[in-house]
């Protein structure tokens, strides 16, 4: 794997600069439909957070600040043409690996996990960078050759995924490693490798689960899986989260208890209600009607992302766009799945709704990449 | 990549695009499926399981907080308060509001007395209670301590004084054996009590009427339905049901008569029971020595309790209802009446009393208390008046034990009186059947003799003697003794009088027989030769009475009983039973002075004081 040389630096001419109907400013790259979806989601998220935080305006203020920053990052990245991204891909990935190693060696410990790198001014989670860097790297590597990739290239691509995922798991951060791993895996699935191969891989993974259970997982992670399987066994301990969250959702009913009136959330029965379990607050206060609305916003964003991937013009951008949007879907599904008791509790926030900074910036950076891919298309001769 | 020519690249490009497009469509389908999965899950939770989770959510949120009822007060028959609820001051700390607990406690120690025991208990309670709830540190603060703390309250954030209602007995020792007392609910009681209605109640009646009227005095628990946070902090009250306070209890007891009775007994060990024969109402029920019930309310200190429990004076023992004493000569009027009613004797029957009595074929001499005897012609009247033993030896022998025991049972001897406090003794009224069962022995005629003078196996409580005397005074009507007279709701002035309970009537064969016996009892007090003549001399009303001097230990044949030579605890018990005014009795009384000596000399004057207090202090 060599960094570049064979790769052609192709400075496309961006015709949108002159023909754009949507850009307010000439030459400003922005996908309005996606932007609108994200904006609506953010506003809805702020309303939920206001309730979940116990009507704390300070929390809202900090979240608004983060959202603003994240949107700015998105818009900034949207301006970078995809071929620049492609060019820098191996460097970003290598930096990410180095930082992950640094975290394991010098990182700050918080809540029993080593995730943070203190850079003096701010703290930084290198694992977040890998959420984008891994799919970029896999896409970069695979798009070198024609699709579908050969078996050997698939193995190399797998190792590109496995190395950072293992490092993140060691921190330990099951949620992020899951997201990073799925981002990479989705790239592979999108390349069109045969279903037969995918099926075999799936069986192999299932077979290796016991190995992960005994050698790779931490006690608390094993506990989470056990708790997921039977939360009622430990109602005051680790099962408490899931039980209380299901009570919150179920008691919401069709119409919900009303904004700021959720007893599970307002009376502190629901743990982590501003962060990972914020969906339960929403479900309790707005009911099924509210959930259908929220899920439509998420669906809209995913559909728009898939459309962007569908319309992308070369292998690298296709694979990257597809992976980034589908990772967003994984986020949503894993979070809601765990809060509603379908999946084990892994620390995955609800995108743009959960309170918290780093993951939001990464997420919006990914949407920036999507926008960049979409708005820098060459108009193909018909 | 150089080996690929342009044609191949273009072809591949097209193929790749198709492949990728199919995969995107595949993932589009996956997206739709995942969304459907999530929606289905929500429908399952929010529609099909909605009821279930709503219940769970309510259970989380709402809890019931009991509000204990205020305990009913206890009054005597004239409305004098005997048991009340006084505010008691408790020093409480809210741990959440205190930064440095050790420092605060050290500073509190400077103004309020805190024992190590207090602090240990506090630490224990603190670990069991939520941080934001008040934990008691010291109970029963003195007013001085309350004042000292109040002046410095600003220095102690999170520390406060709480006023709680505590049971208090203003008369202290007086009538303690009738009233009983309340104390903290112990583990055994916790199991027995209805946990729902005692939710929030800390004290329960342990003894006396406090115990037997517990359900009435306690009232009904109220509750608050409150919304609480996950930590148990009360957010707001959703619903409140006020507790129903316990009913106030009015006793037949007259605290003035009770005080007179206890004062009359003085330093003696003994008991007095006074009953209104018309109602069965217990006017006084004294057992001396007594004890102050107030320290028991919040748990008496171990040393003080041990002192009470191990005292040879047995202050905790309720002699009035539990004490078993030989009734001695106080039984003679009943035996005499039996003789008349069974037609064994009549008013004119006489007997010679040489000072002793002998059975045929038996060398044993049954002695009279008077060595020289009561003369050649002793009538029943004289025998009662002077308490002639020989007369009753003979009468008892002629009656036979079967008729005696049957007759005595009519007067409640050997039976529970049915008084409304717990723990009374049944006493013992011997019979042939009883002896066969209990001792597996036949009945000897000699035992009949001593039964006739209230000795031998005979045992009766002061209460039983009073009840028997009341039946005699009532011409046979047997009403169960009762301490409680009436109930009253705390918010009304209407008393709800409790009904009498008639236990039975003694069949009266000849009314003149009863009059004869009562007349003889009047002579005991109001005649020159009466054994209690000293109390009759200056009495403004007529008293019918009977003295008794009960032997505690047997005297061998040919020995003399010399009071001064006998150890104190082996001396005779002094007894006296009486009712007055004799023709229209309103009070029947029994007095027992343990090892007091002579009934006429010691017990009768005490009874007189009780009768005076009741009749001359006249209230009904």
**Helix H or strand E segment including B240:** strand B234-241
Query: Which residues have a Cβ under 8 Å from the Cβ of B457 and sit 6 or more positions away?
Result: B428, B430, B434, B435, B447, B451
Annotated catalytic residues of B are 329
Residue A231 confidence (pLDDT) above 60: yes
Q: Which of A267, A309, A336 has its CB closest to that of B61? A: A267
Domain limit, last residue, from B251, B270, B297: B251
Closest residue, chain A, to B26 (C-alpha): A190
Name the phi and psi angles at B75, rounded to 5. Answer: -120, 160
- Specify if B14 maps to a domain: no
Residue A24 confidence (pLDDT) above 50: no
Tell me the per-residue pLDDT of B352-386, one tens digit each, with 9 for 90 and over: 888 888 888 888 888 888 888 888 889 999 999 98
Q: Are B202 and B68 in contact (CB under 8 A)?
A: yes
Q: Which of A146, A244, A254 has its CB closest to that of B47? A: A254
Crossing angle for the helix pair A82-106 and A151-169, to the nearest 10 degrees: 40
CA distance A206 to A221: 17
User: Are B378 and B410 contained in the same domain?
Assistant: yes
Contact B45 A292 (CB under 8 A): no
Q: What number of helices (H) and strands (E) belong to chain A?
A: 14, 3
User: Are B471 and B324 contained in the same domain?
Assistant: yes
Q: Which of B598, B453, B600, B580 is nearest to B531 (CA)?
A: B600
Task: Work out the end-to-end distance of chain A between its first and last CA atoms, rounded to an integer number of angstroms.
Answer: 36
> Residue B327 — pLDDT band, cuts 50, 70, 90?
very high
Name the phi and psi angles at B276, rounded to 5. Answer: -80, 110
Residues of A in contact with B50 (CB under 8 A): 250-251, 253-254
**Mean pLDDT score of chain B:** 88
- How long, in residues, is chain B? 620
ipTM comes to 0.88
Residue B556 confidence (pLDDT) above 70: no
Task: Output the 3-class SS for B280-301.
Answer: CEEEEEEEECCCCCHHHHCCCC
Q: Which of B274, B251, B576 is nearest to B421 (CA)?
A: B251
User: Are B320 and B243 contained in the same domain?
Assistant: no
User: Are B162 and B187 contained in the same domain?
Assistant: yes
Domain limit, last residue, from B231, B251, B271: B251
Q: Which of A333, A331, A337 is nearest to A366 (CA)?
A: A331
| Other beta carbons less than 10 A from residue B240's beta carbon | 12
User: Are B531 and B606 contained in the same domain?
Assistant: yes
- Specify if B4 maps to a domain: no
Lowest mean pLDDT among A69-73, A220-224, B46-50, B470-474: A220-224
User: Are B162 and B226 contained in the same domain?
Assistant: yes
User: DSSP letters of B515-568?
Assistant: HHHHHHHHHHHHSTT-TTHHHHTT-SS--EEEEEEE-SSPPPTT----GGGS-G
Residues of A in contact with B61 (CB under 8 A): 263-264, 267, 269
- Specify if B20 maps to a domain: no
- Specify if B17 maps to a domain: no
User: Are B286 and B180 contained in the same domain?
Assistant: no
The more confident residue out of B481 and A16 is B481
Q: What is the pLDDT of residue B132?
A: 74
Q: What number of helices (H) and strands (E) belong to chain B?
A: 23, 25
Residue A22 confidence (pLDDT) above 60: no
Tell me the per-residue pLDDT of A96-114, one tens digit each, with 9 for 90 and over: 999 888 888 876 655 555 6
Q: Which of A146, A292, A306 has its CB closest to that of B24? A: A306
CA distance A375 to A373: 6
Give me the residues paired with residue B477 across strands: B505
- CATH number of the domain within which B278 lies: 3.40.710.10
User: Are B263 and B230 contained in the same domain?
Assistant: no
* Structure-block tokens of residue B19: 């492949």
| B174-185 residues labelled b (16+ CB within 10 A) or e (exposed) | bbbbbbbbbbeb
- Specify if B597 maps to a domain: yes
Domain limit, last residue, from B225, B251, B277: B251
Q: Which of B20, B50, B227 has its CB closest to that of A250? A: B50
Contact B60 A145 (CB under 8 A): no
Q: Are strands B573-580 and B544-550 parallel, antiparallel or unpaired?
A: antiparallel
Q: What is the pLDDT of residue A110?
A: 55
Residue B558 confidence (pLDDT) above 60: no
> Residue B269 — pLDDT band, cuts 50, 70, 90?
very high
Q: Which of B496, B582, B600 is nearest to B541 (CA)?
A: B582
Contact A250 B23 (CB under 8 A): no
Q: Are A294 and A44 in contact (CB under 8 A)?
A: yes
> Residue A23 — pLDDT band, cuts 50, 70, 90?
very low
CA distance B244 to B39: 51
Tell me the per-residue pLDDT of B505-547, one tens digit each, with 9 for 90 and over: 888 898 999 999 999 999 999 998 888 899 988 889 999 999 9
Q: Give residue B110's domain range.
A: 65-251
Query: Which residues have a Cβ under 8 Å from the Cβ of A250 and sit 6 or more positions away?
Result: B45, B46, B49, B50, B52, B53, B54, B56, B57
Cα distance from B132 to chain A (closest Cα, Å)? 16
Q: What is the pLDDT of residue A70?
A: 92
Query: Which residues have a Cβ under 8 Å from the Cβ of A275 and sit 6 or more positions away?
Result: A349, A354, A355, A356
State the DSSP code for B267.
T
State the DSSP code for B136.
E
Contact B1 A144 (CB under 8 A): yes
Cα distance from B237 to chain A (closest Cα, Å)? 14
User: Are B422 and B380 contained in the same domain?
Assistant: yes
Total number of domains in chain B: 2
- Specify if B33 maps to a domain: no
Residue A290 confidence (pLDDT) above 90: yes
Q: Which of B42, B41, B31 is nearest to A327 (CA)?
A: B31
Residues of B in contact with A291 (CB under 8 A): 39, 42, 46
CA dihedral sign of residues B386, B387, B392, B394? negative
Tell me the per-residue pLDDT of A117-140, one tens digit each, with 9 for 90 and over: 665 555 678 888 899 999 999 999
Contact B12 A147 (CB under 8 A): yes
User: Are B214 and B290 contained in the same domain?
Assistant: no
Q: What is the pLDDT of residue A293?
A: 96
Cα distance from A193 to chain B (closest Cα, Å)? 9
Closest residue, chain A, to B61 (C-alpha): A263
Residue A9 confidence (pLDDT) above 50: no
User: Are B243 and B263 contained in the same domain?
Assistant: no
Q: What is the pLDDT of residue B436?
A: 92
Task: Output the 3-class SS for A123-155.
Answer: EECHHHHHHHHHHHHHHHHHCCCCCCCCHHHHH
Cα distances (angstroms) measured from residue B35 to each of A156, A308, A336, B155: 33, 20, 10, 61
Q: Which of B411, B202, B243 is nearest to B327 (CA)?
A: B411
Quick one: average pLDDT of B174-190?
89
Cα distance from A254 to chain B (closest Cα, Å)? 6
Tell me the per-residue pLDDT of A254-275, one tens digit each, with 9 for 90 and over: 999 999 888 888 888 888 888 8
- Specify if B339 maps to a domain: yes
Residue B322 confidence (pLDDT) above 50: yes
- CATH number of the domain within which B202 lies: 3.90.1310.10
Residue B83 confidence (pLDDT) above 60: yes
Q: What is the pLDDT of residue A238?
A: 59
Q: What is the pLDDT of residue B38?
A: 95
Among A188, A248, A250, most B C-beta atoms within 10 A, so best to mutate, is A250
| Other beta carbons less than 10 A from residue A26's beta carbon | 9
Give me the residues paired with residue A116 across strands: A108
Q: What is the pLDDT of residue B563?
A: 60
Crossing angle for the helix pair B389-399 and B401-410, to the nearest 10 degrees: 100
- Specify if B51 maps to a domain: no
The more confident residue out of A141 and A9 is A141
User: Are B460 and B575 contained in the same domain?
Assistant: yes
Contact B20 A287 (CB under 8 A): no
Residue A381 confidence (pLDDT) above 70: no
CA distance B380 to B180: 42
Task: Output the 3-class SS for A296-339.
Answer: HHHHHHHHHHHHHHHHCCCHHHHHHHHHHHHHHHHHHHHHHHHH
Tell me the per-residue pLDDT of B276-319, one tens digit each, with 9 for 90 and over: 999 999 999 999 999 999 989 877 888 888 999 998 889 999 99
- Residue A367 CA to its chain's centroid (Å): 10
Name the phi and psi angles at A96, rounded to 5. Answer: -60, -45
Residues of B in contact with A252 (CB under 8 A): 46
Contact A254 B49 (CB under 8 A): no
Q: Which of B21, B37, B43 has its CB closest to that of A310? A: B21
- How long, in residues, is chain A? 382
């Amino acid at each position: 794997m060599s960094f570049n040389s064979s790769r052609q630096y192709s400075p496309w001419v961006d015709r949108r600069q002159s023909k754009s109907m949507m850009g307010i400013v000439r030459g400003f790259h922005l996908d309005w439909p996606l932007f609108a979806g994200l904006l609506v989601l953010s506003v809805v998220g702020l309303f939920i957070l206001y309730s979940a935080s116990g009507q704390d305006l300070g929390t809202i203020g900090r979240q608004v600040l983060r959202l603003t920053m994240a949107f700015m990052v998105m818009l900034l990245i949207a301006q970078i043409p995809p071929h620049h991204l492609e060019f820098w891909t191996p460097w970003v990935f290598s930096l990410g690996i180095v930082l992950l190693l640094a975290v394991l060696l010098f990182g700050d410990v918080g809540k029993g996990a080593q995730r943070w790198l203190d850079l003096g001014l701010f703290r930084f989670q290198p694992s977040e960078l890998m959420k984008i860097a891994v799919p970029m790297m896999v896409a970069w590597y695979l798009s070198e050759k024609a699709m579908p990739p050969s078996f050997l290239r698939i193995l190399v691509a797998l190792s590109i995924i496995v190395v950072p995922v293992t490092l993140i798991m060691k921190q330990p951060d099951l949620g992020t490693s899951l997201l990073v791993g799925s981002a990479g895996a989705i790239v592979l699935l999108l390349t069109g490798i045969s279903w037969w191969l995918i099926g075999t891989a799936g069986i192999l993974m299932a077979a290796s689960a016991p190995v992960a259970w005994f050698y790779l997982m931490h006690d608390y992670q094993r506990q989470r899986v056990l708790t997921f399987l039977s939360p009622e066994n430990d109602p005051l301990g680790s099962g408490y989260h899931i039980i209380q969250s299901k009570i919150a959702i179920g008691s919401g009913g069709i119409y919900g208890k009303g904004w700021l009136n959720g007893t599970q959330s307002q009376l502190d029965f629901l743990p982590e209600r501003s962060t990972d379990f914020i969906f339960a607050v929403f479900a309790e206060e707005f009911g099924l009607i509210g959930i259908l609305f929220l899920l439509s916003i998420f669906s809209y964003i995913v559909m728009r992302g898939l459309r962007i991937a569908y319309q992308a013009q070369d292998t690298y951008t296709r694979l990257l766009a597809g992976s980034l949007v589908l990772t967003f879907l994984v986020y949503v599904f894993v979070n809601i799945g765990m809060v509603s008791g379908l999946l084990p509790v892994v620390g995955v926030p609800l995108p743009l709704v959960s309170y918290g900074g780093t993951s939001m910036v990464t997420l919006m950076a990914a949407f920036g990449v999507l926008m960049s891919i979409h708005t820098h298309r060459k108009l193909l001769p018909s | 990549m150089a080996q690929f020519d342009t044609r191949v690249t273009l072809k591949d490009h097209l193929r790749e695009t198709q492949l990728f497009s199919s995969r995107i469509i595949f993932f589009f389908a996956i997206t739709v499926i995942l969304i459907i999965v999530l929606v289905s899950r929500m429908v399952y939770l929010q529609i099909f399981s909605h009821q279930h989770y709503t219940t769970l959510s309510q259970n989380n949120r709402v809890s019931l907080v009991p509000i204990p009822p205020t305990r009913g007060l206890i009054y005597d028959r004239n409305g004098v308060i005997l048991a009340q609820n006084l505010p008691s001051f408790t020093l409480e700390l809210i741990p959440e509001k205190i930064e440095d607990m050790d420092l605060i406690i050290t500073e509190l120690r400077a103004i309020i007395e805190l024992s190590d025991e207090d602090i240990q208990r506090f630490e224990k309670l603190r670990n069991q209670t939520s941080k934001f709830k008040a934990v008691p540190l010291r109970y029963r603060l003195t007013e001085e301590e309350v004042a000292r703390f109040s002046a410095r309250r600003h220095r102690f954030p999170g520390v406060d004084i709480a006023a709680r209602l505590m049971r208090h007995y203003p008369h202290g020792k007086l009538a303690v054996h009738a009233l009983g007392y309340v104390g903290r609910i112990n583990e055994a009681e916790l199991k027995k009590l209805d946990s729902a209605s005692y939710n929030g109640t800390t004290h329960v009646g342990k003894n006396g009427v406090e115990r037997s009227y517990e359900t009435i005095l306690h009232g009904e628990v109220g509750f608050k339905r409150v919304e609480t946070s996950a930590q148990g902090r009360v957010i707001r009250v959703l619903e409140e049901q006020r507790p129903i306070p316990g009913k106030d209890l009015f006793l037949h007891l007259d605290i003035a008569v009770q005080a007179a009775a206890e004062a009359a007994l003085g330093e003696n060990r003994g008991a007095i029971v006074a009953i209104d024969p018309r109602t069965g109402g217990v006017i006084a029920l004294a057992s001396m020595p007594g004890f102050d019930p107030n320290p028991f309310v919040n748990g008496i200190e171990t040393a003080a309790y041990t002192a009470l429990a191990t005292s040879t004076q047995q202050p905790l023992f309720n002699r009035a209802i539990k004490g078993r004493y030989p009734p001695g000569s106080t039984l003679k009027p009943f035996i005499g009446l039996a003789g008349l009613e069974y037609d064994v004797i009549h008013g004119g029957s006489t007997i010679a009393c040489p000072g002793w009595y002998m059975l045929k074929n038996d060398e044993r001499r049954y002695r009279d208390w008077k060595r020289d005897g009561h003369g050649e012609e002793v009538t029943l009247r004289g025998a009662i008046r002077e308490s002639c033993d020989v007369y009753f030896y003979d009468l008892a022998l002629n009656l036979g034990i079967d008729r005696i025991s049957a007759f005595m049972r009519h007067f409640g001897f050997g039976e529970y009186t049915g008084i409304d406090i717990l723990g009374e003794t049944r006493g013992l009224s011997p019979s042939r059947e009883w002896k066969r069962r209990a001792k597996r022995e036949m009945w000897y005629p000699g035992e009949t003799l001593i039964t006739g003078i209230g000795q031998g196996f005979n045992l009766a409580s002061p209460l039983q003697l009073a009840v028997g005397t009341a039946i005699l005074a009532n011409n046979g009507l047997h009403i169960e003794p009762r301490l409680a007279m009436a109930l009253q709701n705390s918010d009304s002035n209407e008393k709800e009088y409790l009904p009498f309970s008639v236990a039975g009537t003694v069949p009266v064969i000849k009314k003149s027989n009863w009059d004869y016996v009562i007349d003889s009892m009047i002579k005991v007090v109001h005649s020159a030769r009466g054994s209690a003549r000293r109390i009759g001399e200056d009495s403004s009303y007529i008293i019918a009475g009977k003295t008794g001097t009960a032997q505690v230990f047997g005297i061998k044949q040919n020995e003399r009983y010399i009071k001064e030579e006998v150890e104190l605890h082996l001396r005779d018990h002094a007894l006296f039973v009486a009712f007055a005014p004799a023709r229209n009795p309103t009070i029947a009384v029994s007095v027992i002075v343990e090892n007091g000596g002579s009934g006429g000399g010691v017990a009768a004057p005490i009874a007189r004081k009780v009768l005076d207090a009741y009749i001359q202090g006249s209230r009904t």
